[in-house]
């Protein structure tokens, strides 16, 4: 029945049951998040992501260049319920060797034992992290894509592990491209026009970074929106609340 063979090629071939990952007690949300992180960790660019829920299976799909430049495609189905989660790798090859399934399974089992949010690298000092959300991360973190027209949503995290309060002004948080061009956050009508309708855009609006005081031993995480572009680093100014002294700093984009 040649049509069965064609259908298998189109839909992909689920790996044997031995490659399925059965995790009792693992929630739908965390399973999807760790599956996403696993695809990135094993070198795949995520091309599609549907979060799993108890009512609907989800999946994460990705691709990467093979040894000779040929595209390698990997996909994982995610089914979850009150008991836990099962993840099933799917091989996109007529005669699969299950390399993707083995690699995904090993990496997933390692990453699922680690926290989703890494601890600060240092217990003291001021730490800055800026991360441009790609659409798949936005679906995981915000439930949808928060921007439109190519605008870039950036999460800025400020960890103040010092004994002094500092302030951060969004007007002084510039992003810089590899070509050296800089951009400041969108404001006013441009900011509103860049937000997509829906809950994700509403959340970015509600959690937008304003001029903020970050008190000692606290962490602040907020959003900014920038014009379309691929950004390499951020340049910003931090002000000591007590002395009024300012310090410029450069942080790589993550």
Q: What is residue 37's three-state secondary structure?
A: helix
Show the tokens assigned to 52: 């799993």
Model confidence band, residue 10 (pLDDT cutoffs 50, 70, 90): very low
**Which tens digit of pLDDT belongs to each residue from 136-160?**
999 999 999 999 999 999 999 999 9
pTM of the entire structure? 0.79
Phi, psi values for residue 183, rounded to 5°: -140, 145
The structure tokens 């937008």 sit at 208
What is residue 51's predicted lDDT score, i.e. its pLDDT? Answer: 94
Model confidence band, residue 251 (pLDDT cutoffs 50, 70, 90): confident
Is pLDDT at 7 greater than 50 in this prediction? Answer: no
What is residue 71's predicted lDDT score, i.e. its pLDDT? Answer: 86
Is pLDDT at 61 greater than 90 in this prediction? Answer: yes
What is residue 16's predicted lDDT score, i.e. its pLDDT? Answer: 63
Q: What is the mean pLDDT of residues 181-201?
A: 96
Is pLDDT at 236 greater than 80 in this prediction? Answer: yes
- Could you give the CA distance from residue 128 to residue 230 in angstroms, rounded to a whole number? 19
Domains of the chain in start order, with CATH, are: 11-111 (3.30.310.80), 125-252 (2.60.40)
What is residue 66's predicted lDDT score, i.e. its pLDDT? Answer: 84
What is residue 146's predicted lDDT score, i.e. its pLDDT? Answer: 97
What is residue 123's predicted lDDT score, i.e. its pLDDT? Answer: 56
């Amino acid at each position: 029945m040649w049509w069965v063979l064609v259908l298998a090629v189109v839909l992909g071939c689920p790996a044997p049951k031995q490659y399925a990952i059965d995790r009792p007690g693992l929630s739908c949300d965390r399973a999807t998040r760790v599956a996403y992180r696993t695809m990135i960790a094993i070198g795949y660019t995520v091309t599609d992501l549907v979060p799993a829920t108890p009512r609907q299976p989800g999946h994460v799909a990705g691709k990467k260049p093979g040894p000779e430049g040929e595209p390698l495609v990997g996909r994982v189905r995610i089914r979850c319920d009150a008991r836990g989660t099962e993840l099933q790798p799917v091989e996109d090859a007529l005669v699969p060797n299950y390399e993707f399934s083995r690699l995904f399974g090993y990496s997933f089992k390692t990453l699922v034992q680690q926290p989703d949010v890494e601890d600060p690298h240092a217990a003291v000092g001021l730490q800055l992290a800026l991360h441009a959300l790609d659409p798949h991360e936005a679906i995981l973190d915000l439930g949808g894509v928060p921007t439109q027209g190519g605008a870039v949503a950036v999460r800025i995290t400020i960890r103040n592990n010092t004994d002094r309060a500092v302030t951060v002004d969004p007007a002084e948080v510039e992003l810089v491209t590899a070509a050296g061009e800089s951009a400041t956050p969108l404001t006013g009508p441009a900011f509103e026009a860049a937000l997509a309708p829906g809950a994700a855009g509403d959340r970015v609006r509600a959690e937008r970074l304003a001029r903020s005081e970050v008190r000692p031993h606290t962490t602040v995480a907020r959003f900014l929106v920038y014009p379309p572009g691929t950004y390499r680093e951020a340049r910003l100014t931090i002000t000591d609340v007590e002395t009024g002294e300012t310090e410029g700093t450069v942080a790589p984009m993550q």
